[in-house]
């Protein structure tokens, strides 16, 4: 595939376009036939002379360039070519989890609980790395992502989750006037909707929403922006068990603690959330790594993202944000891992190599939430008359 020269890079094809920039699949050439594929994010020409847009573009690149974590895309360069500002960064060949959820439902293989937990655990680790970032004097930079949504989390074909889009991230150096609201309403913490001061706990709330939705298969915030804002700030989130019969009680405790409206009653950090989820997964045989996640991705989306776009299966335009919730306000949450409540184990096992080779894991995934004859359109799933039920029987072989 040949492309358009762009400095020392070659632009191969456009992958996406947003409000400020367009993203290209590109190739960088070196000596002795060396090359690598990467992504070039290029600021739209008409925004080069718009100081707020240019500054935002540069801040995002500098912030991501300071982060080095397997669950955050690596930034290689912020530069200019022929008067055009661009960022050269890691190309993430995968699907965002909103699209992955839809493809899973359509394929008849809803995301297993073990895989959902594995994805959220990875995101929590990347998020904690960003939250812990310090300046040269050893002081916290006060990072808050502010736009953690299913569309901003990619899962690669190798089963690695990547936290994307730092365009509205906040640090101590970029604090805005109180009252400025940035992000996606359906994934905002109450204090963010109200335009109050934010910290890492605001991102924990957003990740709690994603965890809720991945493990219940239902949206939580729906309606107009005003309706969503009211729900976030004034209403309690329905417990996951009200959406899914047999939902694990100790997992529900974790989810609801992440969704506490009062930040002081919320799980305090992404690291704490990760620890609680890890303990739950270990106790219930649900701890899986990238290999199991990759198996599910290949099960429902076997082609690469690039090939899918070439064949017209994936719209290369940037997806619009939005999958939604309400919040719940438990009075407190123990800093210790929740006690084992003796719940029945979900039959979505952590797959062994034998499982992956034999397809047993695929059979287990098929058994969850959807029956073979069920309608698999996502809209129909979300409008079902009753809550889906966890499969409490082992898969038949």
Structure tokens at 57: 């573009």
Last residue of a domain, one of 59, 89, 119: 89
Model confidence, pTM: 0.75
41-59 residue pLDDT tens: 999 999 999 999 999 999 9
Residues 109, 222, single domain; the answer is yes
- pLDDT reported for residue 301: 87
Q: Note whether residue 66 is domain-resident.
A: yes
As a whole number of angstroms, the distance between CA 347 and CA 344 comes to 9
As a whole number of angstroms, the distance between CA 279 and CA 337 comes to 7
Q: Which residue range(s) make up the domain with 167?
A: 95-382
pLDDT at 24 over 60: yes
As a whole number of angstroms, the distance between CA 323 and CA 333 comes to 26
What value does the mean pLDDT of the chain take? 79
- pLDDT reported for residue 337: 35
Band of pLDDT at residue 199, cut at 50, 70 and 90: very high
As a whole number of angstroms, the distance between CA 6 and CA 330 comes to 54
- Between residues 330 and 7, which one has the greater pLDDT? 7
Residues 81, 100, single domain; the answer is no
Q: Note whether residue 64 is domain-resident.
A: yes
Domain CATH for 214: 1.10.510.10
**DSSP assignment string, 6-65:** ETTEEEEEEEEE-SSEEEEEEEEE-GGG-EEEEEEEEE-GGGTT-HHHHHHHHHHHHHHH
Is the Cβ–Cβ distance between 316 and 176 less than 8 Å?
no
Residues 66, 102, single domain; the answer is no
What is the rounded average pLDDT of the residues 125-151?
A: 93
**DSSP assignment string, 176-226:** PPTT---S-GGG--HHHHTT----HHHHHHHHHHHHHHHHH---S--S-HH
Contact residues for 119 (Cβ-Cβ < 8 A; gap 6+): 97, 153, 155, 161, 214, 293
**DSSP assignment string, 66-113:** T---TTSPPEEEEEEETTEEEEEE----EEEHHHHHHHHHHHT-PPPH
By three-state DSSP, how is residue 148 classified? coil
73-91 residue pLDDT tens: 999 999 999 999 999 999 9
Q: Note whether residue 104 is domain-resident.
A: yes
Q: If you search the block for the tokens 């070659």, which residue do you land on?
A: 10
Residues 169, 287, single domain; the answer is yes
- Catalytic pick from 49, 93, 147, 329? 147
Residues 208, 274, single domain; the answer is yes
Contact residues for 367 (Cβ-Cβ < 8 A; gap 6+): 347, 391, 395
Which residue from 26, 38, 21, 36 is spatially nearest to 2, judged by alpha carbons? 26
Residues 136, 226, single domain; the answer is yes
Residues 83, 109, single domain; the answer is no
User: Cα angle vertex 58, ends 321, 21, to 5°?
Assistant: 45
- Determine whether 147 is an active site residue: yes
Last residue of a domain, one of 54, 89, 124: 89
205-246 residue pLDDT tens: 999 999 999 999 999 888 899 999 999 998 888 999 999 999
Is the Cβ–Cβ distance between 93 and 305 less than 8 Å?
yes
- pLDDT reported for residue 19: 85
As a whole number of angstroms, the distance between CA 273 and CA 209 comes to 13
Domain CATH for 75: 3.30.200.20
> Sign of torsion, CA 154 345 105 323?
negative
pLDDT at 345 over 60: no
Which residue from 41, 95, 20, 33 is spatially nearest to 304, judged by alpha carbons? 95
Is the Cβ–Cβ distance between 173 and 141 less than 8 Å?
yes
Band of pLDDT at residue 128, cut at 50, 70 and 90: very high
- pLDDT reported for residue 359: 33
Residues 127, 47, single domain; the answer is no
User: Cα angle vertex 373, ends 348, 357, to 5°?
Assistant: 40
Residues 23, 120, single domain; the answer is no
Domains contained in the chain, number: 2
As a whole number of angstroms, the distance between CA 165 and CA 72 comes to 10
Structure tokens at 387: 């809550």
Q: Note whether residue 387 is domain-resident.
A: no
- pLDDT reported for residue 376: 33
Which residue from 297, 278, 296, 287 is spatially nearest to 361, judged by alpha carbons? 296
Residues in the chain: 397
Last residue of a domain, one of 68, 89, 110: 89
According to DSSP, residue 286 is labeled: -
Percentage of the chain with pLDDT > 70? Answer: 74
- pLDDT reported for residue 64: 93
Contact residues for 349 (Cβ-Cβ < 8 A; gap 6+): 114, 285, 286, 355, 361, 364
Which residue from 163, 249, 173 is spatially nearest to 203, judged by alpha carbons? 163
Which residue from 231, 266, 254 is spatially nearest to 341, judged by alpha carbons? 254
Q: Note whether residue 40 is domain-resident.
A: yes
């Amino acid at each position: 595939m040949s492309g358009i020269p762009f400095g020392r890079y070659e632009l191969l094809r456009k992958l996406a376009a947003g409000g400020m920039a367009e993203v290209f699949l590109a190739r960088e050439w070196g000596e002795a036939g060396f090359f690598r594929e990467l992504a070039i994010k290029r600021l739209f020409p008409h925004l080069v002379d718009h100081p707020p847009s240019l500054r935002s573009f540069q801040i995002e690149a500098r912030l991501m360039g300071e982060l080095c974590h397997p669950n955050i895309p690596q930034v290689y360069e912020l530069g200019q070519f022929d008067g055009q500002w661009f960022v050269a960064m890691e190309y993430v060949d995968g699907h965002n989890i909103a699209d992955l959820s839809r493809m899973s439902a359509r394929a008849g293989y809803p995301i297993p609980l073990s895989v959902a937990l594995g994805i959220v655990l990875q995101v929590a680790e990347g998020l904690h790395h960003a939250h812990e970032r310090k300046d040269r004097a050893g002081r916290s930079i006060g990072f808050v992502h502010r736009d953690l949504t299913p569309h901003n989390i990619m899962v690669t074909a190798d089963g690695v989750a990547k936290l994307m889009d730092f365009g509205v991230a906040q640090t101590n150096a970029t604090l805005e006037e109180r009252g400025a609201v940035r992000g996606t309403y359906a994934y905002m913490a109450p204090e963010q909707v109200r335009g109050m001061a934010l910290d890492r706990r605001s991102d924990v709330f957003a990740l709690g929403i994603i965890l809720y939705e991945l493990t219940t298969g239902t949206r939580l915030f729906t309606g107009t922006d005003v309706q969503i804002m009211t729900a976030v700030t004034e209403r309690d989130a329905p417990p996951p068990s009200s959406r899914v019969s047999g939902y694990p009680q100790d997992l529900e405790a974790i989810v609801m603690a992440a969704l506490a409206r009062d930040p002081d009653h919320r799980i305090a950090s992404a690291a704490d959330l990760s620890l609680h989820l890890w303990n739950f997964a270990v106790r219930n045989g649900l701890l899986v790594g990238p290999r199991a996640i990759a198996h599910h991705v290949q099960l429902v989306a076997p082609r690469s993202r690039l090939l899918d776009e070439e064949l017209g299966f994936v719209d290369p335009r940037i997806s619009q944000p939005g999958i939604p919730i309400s919040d719940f306000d438990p009075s407190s949450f123990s800093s210790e891992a929740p006690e084992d409540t003796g719940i029945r184990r979900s039959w979505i096992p952590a797959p062994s190599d034998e499982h992956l080779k034999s397809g047993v894991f695929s059979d287990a995934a098929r058994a969850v939430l959807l029956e073979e004859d069920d309608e698999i359109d996502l809209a129909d799933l979300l409008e079902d008359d009753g809550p889906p039920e966890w499969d409490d029987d082992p898969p038949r072989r």
